[in-house]
Amino acid sequence: MDMLPRLLPFLLALEVFKIPSLWLIHHFHTYTWSLIYSLLILTPVSLGLNLVYIKLHRRQSAGVRDFLRGFFIYPRSLAVSLSLGLLTLGGLIAFIVPGIILYLTYCLSEYALADKNTGIKESFALSARLTAASRGQLASVILLIVSIEILAPEIAGISGGFKNSDLKFDFKSWTMIGHALKDLVFLPWLNMSMAAAYNRLLRTLPRDDNS
- CA–CA distance, 160 with 55 (Å, rounded to integer): 40
The pTM score is: 0.92
pLDDT per residue as tens digits for the range 83-107: 998 888 887 777 677 888 889 999 9
- CA–CA distance, 160 with 25 (Å, rounded to integer): 11
Whether the per-residue pLDDT at 82 is higher than 80: the answer is yes
Q: Are 154 and 181 in contact (CB under 8 A)?
A: no
Higher pLDDT, 168 or 200: 200
The beta-carbon contacts of 23-29 under 8 Å, at least 24 apart in sequence, are 25/158, 25/165, 25/167, 26/167, 29/160, 29/163, 29/164, 29/165, 29/166
Interacting residues of 161 by C-beta distance below 8 A, sequence separation 6+: none
Q: Are 196 and 57 in contact (CB under 8 A)?
A: yes
If you average pLDDT over each of 20-29, 96-105, 188-197, 201-210, which comes out highest? 188-197
pLDDT per residue as tens digits for the range 113-151: 999 999 999 999 999 999 998 998 899 999 999 999 999
Q: Are 210 and 202 in contact (CB under 8 A)?
A: yes
Q: Are 158 and 167 in contact (CB under 8 A)?
A: yes
Helices (H) and strands (E) in the chain, counts: 12, 2
Whether the per-residue pLDDT at 208 is higher than 70: the answer is no
Q: If we measure between CA atoms, which residue out of 117, 18, 15 comes closest to residue 72?
A: 117
